[in-house]
Amino acid sequence: MKKREMNRRDFIKWGSSLAALGIAGAVLPGCGGSKDPCRDLTGLTDEEKQTRVTFAYRDKTLIPAKRCDNCHFYVAPVGGSPCATCTVVKGPVTLAGYCNAWVEPQPEGAPEPEIPGAPAEG
């Protein structure tokens, strides 16, 4: 097999092509095509964002039996949105998400449950 040597011109073309691919790979994901709407906290106040930290909200539960979509505080998505909401954690939540405020759904007419991990009032 004949070995081909790369001249300066070929090296510059090759290097420029790789650089262009690297830049495109870094820029294109930010064009909005892959942005997850359930992670968009635009419009939330700092206080509302803090509820996500206070209750350790995460997009994917580590406890399969405890998910946002089977929690008492869950509010189902509306208008075709992939994101739900919560009466405790502010902003969009994923159906498979979890936070420390998770409570098993209560039957109709039962008293409203206390929020686990809620800061003490006073």
For the segment 23-41, what is each residue's pLDDT rounded down to a tens digit? 444 444 445 455 899 999 9
pTM for this model (two decimals):
0.68
Whole-number Å distance between alpha carbons of 62 and 96: 10
Q: Which residues pair with 84 in a beta bridge?
A: 93
* C-beta neighbour count of 57 within 10 angstroms: 21
pLDDT of residue 119: 73
On whether the CB atoms of residues 96 and 68 are closer than 8 A, the answer is: yes
Can you give the residue ranges of every domain in the chain? 36-86
Q: Does 109 have pLDDT greater than 80? A: yes
Whole-number Å distance between alpha carbons of 87 and 89: 6
On whether the CB atoms of residues 61 and 100 are closer than 8 A, the answer is: no
